[in-house]
């Protein structure tokens, strides 16, 4: 009976979303206060009913209700409690419910943190999100209801959660990624609301910015968590595989990164308005595309769900209507967004435009490489795959170019920056970066590689320009403390995020160029050298977990005759499914990771294994943390709150603001 309540709750949420998707938008159009005032309570209602649904699904997992087909397929009586709870997103139906619930959460947040925006605007935003969530819930009820029962004979025990998912990474990666992904729906809704109202002014950009920053920060963490999880769980020793399902979050992230920079220009200078709107639509499309690729089963990937084509068509339908509709609206309204090019060819606007072009081109090339196999198959009927070399050839040089601009952009001025000023500011920094870039790899790793040198020059360039920029911005202040205080929170956020990029660059490049790995067969007592380390297999023993049995090897690692650590890689067999699974052993360090993955045991007791030494790999995720922290910090800038009162005043005057004059007054 209780699972039926879950379905019922979904239906109620669907009904509310029909109201939310229509009344407030019509109300905003006809200036009907009562209908507009419905937006917030309706959004809250949808959140509550979806919350009830997802709680009931979790309850079904906890109570081992195997009459619910989704539970029977993804759980087992032996499954530890933390995985029973999180198995809610262990398959297509439940994870889509989580996705939808996340959207409801964002809607609730918009309802709460929008008190300073005009009601008309909030109604449109929530209305657009209402239409979106309506299509999601409809999709769920029509093709993938997580509460479907197995009648008449439910199984005695469940088929168990996929063993690869029984891991800490599974508990945190999907919710974080979804939250970041879905956050871009909010920014999209802001853009659509602005298009609907025809009022494309700086106020809209300012309202969107904190939401875009926060979504971007969460998405950054979500992607980094996925990369970290894949690194230690899948055990191929890499941190990014250009898998067709890794790519859409990256595409969304690249569009999102372009968007937060473009929003800055739109807010401060009132230009790039139509471009910013387009980016908001693109970032959102990227997130829908991710859903489509994962759930349609069209591409081969570790993430793909076993699925039937009707779902693919349904999502394709949503994709087509959402993207087509918004682009149509954009085409109708874009001519309204006129702006003068009030800036020079060497201005911060132009450097940010370069940033945008590079990011969009990178996103487009990743998109092309991801979807090309599908298109190729549709046209020629031949199956192909596009490997990592394609992505590396395109993506790496583009990023290098981008990193050059990271140094110049923040230092340049709006409207016009003289080239001689930039040269004066940056020539010493450039010389120092080149010196550091050549020396650092030699000192730290005592190795040389041209590619590593280039990337280290770029990383030094980013870090040194940040230092230079801060020092010249506070040079004229009374004291150092006063200088630091005079810089805004959003400035610090930006520089922190840029610093994070430098860390990530160092990690990615040193790991790629200086990692060593070796596949070996070791008998107990035998040892092998790799890099500066010596690995000895001490032996292996039998282990028993709650829902698995297996073997655990013990490996001691020495360096120059000193003990470094003990590693305990495992090989498990999950009892319910008989699925084998390898558990890597990793000794994580600030400067290097030691990593062992077990193969199989030979009849004579020897183990096959792969051993890796990966320098600086942690810096990749450390960099992501800095970037996310920077994004969040920037969203918390007090000017978003302080200026709201004035924005509200202005919005009430209701005129369609013409571009630059008013905008300059506002900033």
Partner 1 sequence: MKPHRRKRLGIILFIATGLSVAIGLTLYALSQNIDLFYTPTQVAQGEVAAGQRIRIGGMVREGSVVSADDSLAVEFVATDYVHDVPIFHEGILPDLFREGQGIVVEGSLDTAGVFQASRVLAKHDENYMSPEVKAALDAAGASPEGHQMQPGT
**282 Cβ contact list (under 8 Å, min separation 6):** 255, 360, 363
Q: Does 171 bind partner 1 (CB under 8 A)?
A: no
Q: Where are the alpha helices (DSSP H) in 234-272?
A: 247-269
Our CB check for partner 1 shows the closer of 345 and 481 to be 345
In whole angstroms, how large is the CA radius of gyration of the chain? Answer: 27
Binding map of partner 1 across residues 178-207, x = CB under 8 A, - = no contact:
------------------------------
How many chain residues are in contact with partner 1, going by CB under 8 A?
54
Q: Where are the alpha helices (DSSP H) in 474-576?
A: 480-486, 489-514
Q: Does 597 bind partner 1 (CB under 8 A)?
A: yes
Q: Which of 189, 200, 304, 508 binds partner 1 (CB under 8 A)?
A: 304
The distance of closest approach from Cβ of residue 359 to partner 1 in the complex, given in angstroms and rounded to an integer, is 11
The distance of closest approach from Cβ of residue 366 to partner 1 in the complex, given in angstroms and rounded to an integer, is 10
Of 187-195, 217-225, 474-482, 606-614, the window that binds partner 1 (rule: CB under 8 A) is 606-614
Q: Are 75 and 161 in contact (CB under 8 A)?
A: yes
Listing DSSP states for 509-547 in one string gives HHHHHH-EEEEEEE-TT-EEEETTEEEEEEEEEEEE-SS
Q: Does 357 bind partner 1 (CB under 8 A)?
A: yes
The distance of closest approach from Cβ of residue 638 to partner 1 in the complex, given in angstroms and rounded to an integer, is 34
Q: Are 359 and 257 in contact (CB under 8 A)?
A: yes
Q: Which of 599, 636, 660, 662 binds partner 1 (CB under 8 A)?
A: 599
Triad 425, 429, 433: Cα angle to 5°: 160
Nearest to 70 by CA among 93, 86, 99: 93
C-alpha separations of 584 from 173, 174, 290, 484, 519 in Å = 18, 21, 28, 45, 14
CA–CA distance, 163 with 90 (Å, rounded to integer): 11
Our CB check for partner 1 shows the closer of 9 and 515 to be 515
Listing DSSP states for 439-454 in one string gives HHHHHHHS---HHHHH
Which tokens sit at 453? 């040198």
- The footprint of partner 1 on residues 557-586 (CB under 8 A) is 577, 579-582
Q: Does 613 bind partner 1 (CB under 8 A)?
A: no
Of 35-43, 216-224, 286-294, 364-372, the window that binds partner 1 (rule: CB under 8 A) is 364-372
Q: Could you give the angle at which helices 450-473 and 489-514 cross, rounded to 10 degrees?
A: 170
Our CB check for partner 1 shows the closer of 95 and 581 to be 581
Q: Are 3 and 149 in contact (CB under 8 A)?
A: yes
Edge-to-edge strand list for the sheet holding 592-601: 516-522, 607-615, 592-601, 585-587
Q: Which of 300, 427, 486, 664 binds partner 1 (CB under 8 A)?
A: 300
Our CB check for partner 1 shows the closer of 413 and 644 to be 413
Of 141-149, 337-345, 505-513, 531-539, the window that binds partner 1 (rule: CB under 8 A) is 337-345
**595 Cβ contact list (under 8 Å, min separation 6):** 237, 584, 585, 586, 587, 611, 612, 613, 614
CA–CA distance, 208 with 185 (Å, rounded to integer): 11
The distance of closest approach from Cβ of residue 299 to partner 1 in the complex, given in angstroms and rounded to an integer, is 8
The distance of closest approach from Cβ of residue 610 to partner 1 in the complex, given in angstroms and rounded to an integer, is 6
Q: Does 384 bind partner 1 (CB under 8 A)?
A: yes
Our CB check for partner 1 shows the closer of 335 and 389 to be 389
Our CB check for partner 1 shows the closer of 449 and 579 to be 579
Residues counted in the chain: 667
Q: Which of 41, 155, 387, 654 binds partner 1 (CB under 8 A)?
A: 387
Q: Are 319 and 292 in contact (CB under 8 A)?
A: yes
Residues paired with 598 in a beta bridge: 609
Q: Which of 386, 487, 489, 648 binds partner 1 (CB under 8 A)?
A: 386
Q: Does 520 bind partner 1 (CB under 8 A)?
A: yes
The distance of closest approach from Cβ of residue 75 to partner 1 in the complex, given in angstroms and rounded to an integer, is 15
Q: Does 605 bind partner 1 (CB under 8 A)?
A: no
Which tokens sit at 178? 């979804």
Q: Are 180 and 215 in contact (CB under 8 A)?
A: yes
Q: Where are the alpha helices (DSSP H) in 569-643?
A: 618-635, 638-642
CA–CA distance, 26 with 46 (Å, rounded to integer): 19
Q: Does 372 bind partner 1 (CB under 8 A)?
A: yes
Residues paired with 529 in a beta bridge: 534
The distance of closest approach from Cβ of residue 114 to partner 1 in the complex, given in angstroms and rounded to an integer, is 35
Q: Which of 87, 358, 584, 611 binds partner 1 (CB under 8 A)?
A: 358
**8 Cβ contact list (under 8 Å, min separation 6):** none
Q: Does 482 bind partner 1 (CB under 8 A)?
A: no
Of 51-59, 188-196, 602-610, 648-656, the window that binds partner 1 (rule: CB under 8 A) is 602-610
CA–CA distance, 192 with 53 (Å, rounded to integer): 29
Q: Does 654 bind partner 1 (CB under 8 A)?
A: no
CA–CA distance, 347 with 408 (Å, rounded to integer): 10
Binding map of partner 1 across residues 98-137, x = CB under 8 A, - = no contact:
----------------------------------------
Binding map of partner 1 across residues 279-298, x = CB under 8 A, - = no contact:
------------------xx
Q: Does 481 bind partner 1 (CB under 8 A)?
A: no
The distance of closest approach from Cβ of residue 192 to partner 1 in the complex, given in angstroms and rounded to an integer, is 25
Q: Which of 383, 431, 532, 656 binds partner 1 (CB under 8 A)?
A: 383
Site of interaction with partner 1 (CB under 8 A): 162, 164, 297-300, 302, 304-306, 340-341, 345, 350, 353-354, 357-358, 361, 364-365, 368-369, 372, 376, 382-387, 389-390, 393-394, 397-398, 519-521, 577, 579-582, 597, 599-600, 602-604, 608-610
């Amino acid at each position: 009976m209780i699972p039926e309540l879950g379905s019922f709750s979904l239906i109620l949420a669907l009904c509310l979303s029909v109201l939310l998707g229509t009344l407030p938008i019509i109300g905003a159009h006809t200036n009907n206060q009562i209908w507009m005032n419905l937006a917030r309570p309706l959004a809250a209602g949808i959140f509550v009913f979806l919350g009830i649904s997802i709680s009931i699904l979790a309850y079904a997992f906890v109570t081992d209700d195997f009459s619910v087909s989704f539970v029977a397929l993804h759980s087992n009586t032996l499954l530890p409690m933390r995985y029973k709870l999180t198995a809610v997103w262990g398959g297509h139906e439940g994870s889509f419910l989580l996705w939808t619930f996340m959207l409801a959460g964002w809607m609730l947040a918009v309802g709460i943190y929008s008190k300073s925006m005009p009601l008309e605007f909030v109604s449109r935003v929530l209305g657009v999100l209402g239409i979106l969530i309506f299509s999601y819930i409809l999709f769920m009820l029509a093709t993938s209801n997580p509460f479907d029962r197995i009648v008449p004979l439910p199984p005695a025990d469940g088929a168990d959660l996929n063993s690869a998912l029984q891991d800490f990474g599974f508990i945190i990666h999907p919710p974080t990624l979804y939250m970041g992904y879905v956050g871009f729906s909010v920014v999209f809704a802001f853009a659509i609301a602005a298009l609907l109202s025809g009022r494309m002014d700086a106020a809209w950009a300012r309202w969107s910015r904190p939401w875009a920053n926060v979504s971007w920060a969460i998405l950054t963490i979500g992607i980094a968590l996925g990369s970290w999880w894949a690194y230690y769980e899948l055990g191929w020793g890499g941190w990014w595989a250009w898998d067709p399902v890794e790519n859409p979050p990256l595409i969304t992230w690249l569009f999102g990164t372009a968007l937060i920079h473009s929003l800055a220009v739109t807010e401060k200078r009132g230009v790039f308005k139509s471009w910013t709107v387009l980016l908001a639509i693109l970032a959102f499309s990227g997130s829908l595309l991710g859903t489509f690729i994962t759930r349609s089963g069209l591409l081969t990937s570790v993430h793909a769900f076993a699925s039937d084509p009707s779902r693919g068509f349904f999502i394709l339908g949503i994709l087509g209507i959402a993207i087509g509709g918004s682009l149509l609206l954009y085409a109708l309204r874009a001519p309204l967004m006129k702006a003068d090019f009030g800036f020079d060819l060497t201005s911060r606007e132009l450097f940010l435009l370069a940033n945008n072009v590079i990011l969009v081109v990178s996103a487009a090339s990743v998109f092309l490489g991801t979807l090309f196999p599908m298109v190729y198959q549709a046209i020629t009927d031949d199956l192909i795959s596009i490997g990592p070399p394609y992505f590396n050839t395109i993506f790496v040089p583009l990023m290098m170019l981008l990193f050059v601009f990271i140094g110049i952009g923040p230092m340049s001025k709006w409207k016009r920056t003289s080239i001689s000023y930039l040269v004066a500011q940056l020539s010493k920094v450039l010389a120092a970066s080149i010196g550091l870039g050549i020396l650092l790899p030699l000192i730290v790793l005592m190795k040389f590689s041209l590619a590593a040198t280039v990337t280290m020059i770029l990383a030094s360039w980013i870090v040194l320009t940040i230092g230079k920029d801060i020092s010249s911005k506070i040079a004229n202040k009374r004291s150092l403390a006063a200088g630091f205080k005079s810089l805004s929170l959003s400035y610090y956020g930006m520089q922190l995020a840029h610093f994070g990029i430098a860390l990530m660059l160092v990690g990615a490049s040193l790991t790629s160029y200086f990692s060593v790995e070796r596949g070996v067969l070791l008998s107990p007592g035998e040892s092998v050298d790799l890099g500066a380390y010596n690995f000895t297999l001490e032996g292996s023993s039998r282990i028993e977990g709650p829902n698995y049995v297996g073997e655990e090897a013990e490996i001691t690692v020495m360096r120059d005759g000193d003990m470094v650590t003990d590693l305990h890689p495992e090989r498990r067999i999950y009892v319910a499914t008989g699925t084998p699974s390898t558990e890597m052993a990793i000794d994580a360090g600030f400067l290097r990771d030691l990593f062992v993955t077990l193969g199989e045991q030979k009849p004579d007791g020897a183990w096959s294994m792969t051993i890796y030494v990966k320098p600086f790999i942690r810096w990749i995720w450390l960099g992501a943390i800095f970037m996310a922290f920077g994004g969040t910090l920037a969203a918390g800038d007090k000017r978003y709150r302080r200026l709201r009162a004035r924005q509200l005043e202005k919005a009430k005057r209701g005129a369609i603001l013409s571009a630059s004059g008013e905008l300059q007054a506002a900033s």
